[in-house]
Chains A and B, each alone.
Chain A
Amino acid sequence: MGLLVLVWIAPIAWMLTTGIKPTPEIFALPPRWIPRHPTLDHVVVVLTRWPFARWMLNSLVVAGTTTVLSTAVSIPAAYVFSRLSWRGRDAVFLVFLSSMLIPLEVNVIPLYFLMNDLHLLNTYPAVFLPMIGMPIGIFLLRQFFVNIPLELDDAARVDGCGNLRILWHVILPLSRPALAALVIYVFTFAWNEFFWSMIALSSPQMFTVPIGLRALQGAFDIDYGILMAGASLAALPALVVFLFLQRSIIRGITMTAHK
């Protein structure tokens, strides 16, 4: 088992060590796992000749905005789908839910036209706007809200609370795990989005990390020292966050699976 895990994460180790090897060692035969003369040359090239820090910032803005807005609009919607009963509720929910079958990728051409009409191409909103109305958001939250006893709402109502206050003071404080799960899901989704971002963003200053790496590849093709240094830098935030929050991230995903 231990061996299998090591093999499984070996590609990541290989990426990290390649990024800090001088070029002759990268192409040395037989290959060397541990660099003999580690160097930051490639890392410096990526950080100084390319707007890598800017790409990080762009990714952070895009993923952060997507996460905040998408969570904010999903909460009240999930509330009316789970805590109130009204005619047509389940039908409307099903319509939203079935739109999970419309991934961003099938919509890139119309989105390109739409963003062009709105003069938003090559801006942050072009990238994050299409990711906000994600049905998974209301799906996850609704699943959680449904299991909170309705008596809590009734008690609050007797005390004169309206729906907004029930949502804010009763439901949300109880829903932290579900919110955490949603935040993790949406953030990784937005952080990793590739196809649409590549179409929507045209100037290197606006690139997100995945698009920037693609540009790096276009410029260096098989200069693997630089490519792996870039990839390592791109992976570093995920690695650090995961080392600290590993248990809550995995528990967050588990949340989405439990009934």
Chain B
Amino acid sequence: MNWKRLSRAIEISAFLLPFAAFWVLFRLVPVLYGFFISLYKWDLLGDARFIGLRNYVNLGRDPRFWNALGVTLEFAAIAIPLIVGIGLLLALFIFGGRRRRWAAAAEAGFFFPYLLTVSVVGLIWRWMLDPDFGIVLLVLRGWGLPAPVFLNEPRWAIPAIAFATAWWLSGYRMVLFRAALEDIPEEFYEAARIDGASGARMFFSITLPLLKPAVLFALVLTTISGFIVFGQVLIMTAGGPGRVSEVLALYLYRFGFEYLEMGQAAAVGVVLFLIILGLTLVTFRWLGYGSSL
């Protein structure tokens, strides 16, 4: 009997082992290793001196770190609602027209940018927003509107990058939301209609509550990608003008691989992880989902 249980335990372990091995070695160990690295001062020869939490203290004292944190928060505050909001709006459009011929083609068009790699997205928008020849500026000016030189203007750099990111990513959210809309039973709407509910009422009392799990999933996903934003910033502004668009990931990169302050860069990684963890917990709390995922 015991032999049977043992062989079953071995079998389960064997099924789990391949995944667990990669997971432990390249996901779990690095988190712990990163914390370990952040406790040392590393010099170029690879020698390390234990300095406790000094790297974290240095971060706290570095105005450039606080700037990067602020910039990242600004990016997240603009990009996250933009991505999720546009995704939701497009999904409602597509779902509303689901019996028409254009719906599938429109969905494909809105979705496609998601398949582009970040460098392509960054280069396209850098060109579209070029201060002298950018088509967006030229078109806006052609309409007689005052167009800021987006990427070179401190106030506009981050919003412009956030907008480009929304163009890139919201199509994916749209597909997720559209699928969730399809899961809502038609009878709910019929019953509401019989009770004389208005369209707005149905949206807020049926559609939105039932979309909650999908919205939660999209929010968590988008929050994470908002806080680790890197590629589009590097390509569109390289953190400029000045440092107005230097996000945390870029700060981490520069400290690690330009100034070779590996300990401090590792500390930024730890801080970034804690921020993501905290925000995810808040999102779950806020939307009232403890156990349903």
Contacts and interface: CB of A to CB of B under 8 A. Distances in A.
A26 interface: yes
Contacts of B37: 109-110, 113
A91 interface: no
Interface string B247-283: 0010011001100001001100110110011001000
Interface string A102-128: 110111111111100000000000000
B277 A101 contact: yes
Contact of A96 (B23, B228, B253): B23
Contact of B176 (A11, A84, A256): A256
A129 B235 CA distance: 26
Contacts of B22: 69, 73, 129, 132-133
Interface residues on A, range: 35 or more
A242 B116 CA distance: 11
Contact of A194 (B117, B182, B273): B117
Contacts of B15: 76-77, 79-80, 163
A101 B235 CA distance: 25
- Could you tell me the dominant secondary structure of chain B's interface residues? helix
Interface string A17-52: 010000000110111000000000000000000000
Interface in A205-222: 209-211, 213-214, 217, 222
Contacts of A9: 109, 112-113
Say what secondary structure dominates the interface of chain A: helix
Contact of B118 (A31, A102, A192, A256): A192
Given A1-B97, A114-B33, A195 B27 contact: no
Interface residues of B, number: 90
B107 to A, nearest CB: 7
B179 A258 contact: yes
A231 B106 contact: no
Contacts of A86: 8-9, 12
B135 interface: yes
B127 A108 contact: no
Contacts of B213: 259
B117 A106 contact: no
Given A192-B117, A256-B176, A257-B179, A246 B266 contact: no
B138 interface: yes
A175 interface: no
Contact of A213 (B34, B110, B114, B120): B120
The 8 A-B pairs at the shortest CB distance, nearest first, are namely A133-B23, A133-B22, A257-B179, A213-B119, A105-B228, A110-B34, A77-B19, A110-B33
Interface of B: 8-9, 11-12, 14-16, 18-31, 33-34, 36-37, 93, 97, 102, 104-120, 123-125, 127-128, 130, 133, 135, 138, 142, 167, 172, 175-180, 182-183, 213-214, 217, 224-225, 228, 230-231, 234-235, 249, 252-253, 256-257, 262, 265-266, 269-270, 272-273, 276-277, 280
8 contacts: A5-B106, A86-B12, A133-B23, A194-B230, A214-B234, A235-B116, A238-B116, A259-B213
